Amino acid sequence: MSDLFVSLTEKVKSNSVRIVFPEGLDERILTAASKLANDKVVTPVLIGSEEKVKQKASEHNLELAGVEIIDPTTYAGFEEMVTSFVERRKGKTSEDDARKLLLDENYFGTMLVYLNLADGLVSGAAHSTAETVRPALQIIKTKPGIKKTSGVFIMVRDDEKYVFADCAINIAPDSQDLAEIALASADTAALFDITPRVAMLSFSTKGSAQSEETEKVVEAVKIAKQQKPDIVLDGEFQFDAAFVPAVAEKKAPDSEIKGDANVFIFPGLEAGNIGYKIAQRLGKFDAVGPILQGLNKPVNDLSRGCNAEDVYKLAIITAAQTL
């Protein structure tokens, strides 16, 4: 495990963090939960039938000592949860509809976090991003001043650490969205001991091409700098100008980014999603995430192609976000 996760693990171990895993019958989730409990990193809370979860664990020779299992259908506080959910939805959901929704493991798990019965949630091994994010937006909601949540990946290879955003949520962000994503990503970077140097990416560097797409990024840079003047942030950059010092010297000699960016903000979801997967598959980076930014409490989304180690690592990151 990289130094990043060794450091994070030590931070969260002594804080008794409870992380909910709605997909309690998924083998990858069970494997990670067993290891997290055995390593005493967090207390995993699995959602599902206790009988079925234990049977599944037994089939894969997994110990569940230190793992909690909660079945929504037999949960003693279910009616109180229904009442809280209806109140949170402010008349948008009836009690009958709430009862049906809260039998969904993602909604149920998210309510445990909202009610402070758990500290964070990790889902997405068997659910789409929308199925993970929708309950979080409806129940936990975004922090004051944040209009949209966004999804970042921490890209790790040996001692190298980078942040890529948005790779998961916003299909076509406008300038205001990009600025918000950039500032949130800088905060995420700092959380993981990365001193943020933020590059706003495009297919143009400092006016080498002009179009609506490049102007959107230029405007995002202005907005972000107005909101946080002290941040090291610049653009628009082609990736090589943001990452390679020799190219930066030629293409953007006056920029405060000298080919040494470590937080990369993509202009749209297509570029971000493709970019992180290229780095992961061709560059052999570990891609941990997506980590959801801007929520009042941490909820994070796995890729459905994840393995048990990905689950383990994202649980550690989720726990670190609670500190």
Per-residue pLDDT, averaged over 143-153, amounts to 89
Q: Has residue 144 got a pLDDT over 90?
A: no
Determine the CATH number of domain 145-294.
Answer: 3.40.50.10750
| Nearest residue to 42 (alpha-carbon basis) of 20, 7, 18, 62 | 18
Q: How distant is the alpha carbon of residue 229 from its chain centre?
A: 26
Per-residue pLDDT, averaged over 23-37, amounts to 96
How far apart, in whole angstroms, are the C-alpha atoms of residue 284 and residue 168? 20
Q: Can you give the pLDDT at residue 276?
A: 97
How far apart, in whole angstroms, are the C-alpha atoms of residue 300 and residue 26? 17
Q: Can you give the pLDDT at residue 290?
A: 82
Q: Has residue 3 got a pLDDT over 80?
A: no
Q: Has residue 12 got a pLDDT over 90?
A: no
Q: Can you give the pLDDT at residue 6?
A: 81
Q: Hey, where are the domains in the chain?
A: 1-141+296-323, 145-294
Per-residue pLDDT, averaged over 172-186, amounts to 96
Per-residue pLDDT, averaged over 106-131, amounts to 94
User: pTM here?
Assistant: 0.83
Q: Has residue 192 got a pLDDT over 90?
A: no
Q: Can you give the pLDDT at residue 10?
A: 84
How far apart, in whole angstroms, are the C-alpha atoms of residue 50 and residue 316? 24
Q: Can you give the pLDDT at residue 1?
A: 56
How far apart, in whole angstroms, are the C-alpha atoms of residue 214 and residue 203? 7
| Nearest residue to 40 (alpha-carbon basis) of 67, 62, 61, 70 | 67
Residues 6+ apart with CB under 8 A from 152: 163, 164, 165, 166, 167, 168, 184, 185, 188, 289, 290, 291, 293
CATH class of 1-141+296-323: alpha beta
How far apart, in whole angstroms, are the C-alpha atoms of residue 64 and residue 44? 9
Q: Over pLDDT 70: what percentage of the chain?
A: 99
pLDDT confidence bin for 146, thresholds 50/70/90: confident
Q: Can you give the pLDDT at residue 242?
A: 97
Q: Has residue 82 got a pLDDT over 90?
A: yes
Mean pLDDT of the chain: 93
pLDDT tens figures, 63-79: 999 999 999 999 999 99
pLDDT confidence bin for 2, thresholds 50/70/90: low
Q: Has residue 226 got a pLDDT over 60?
A: yes
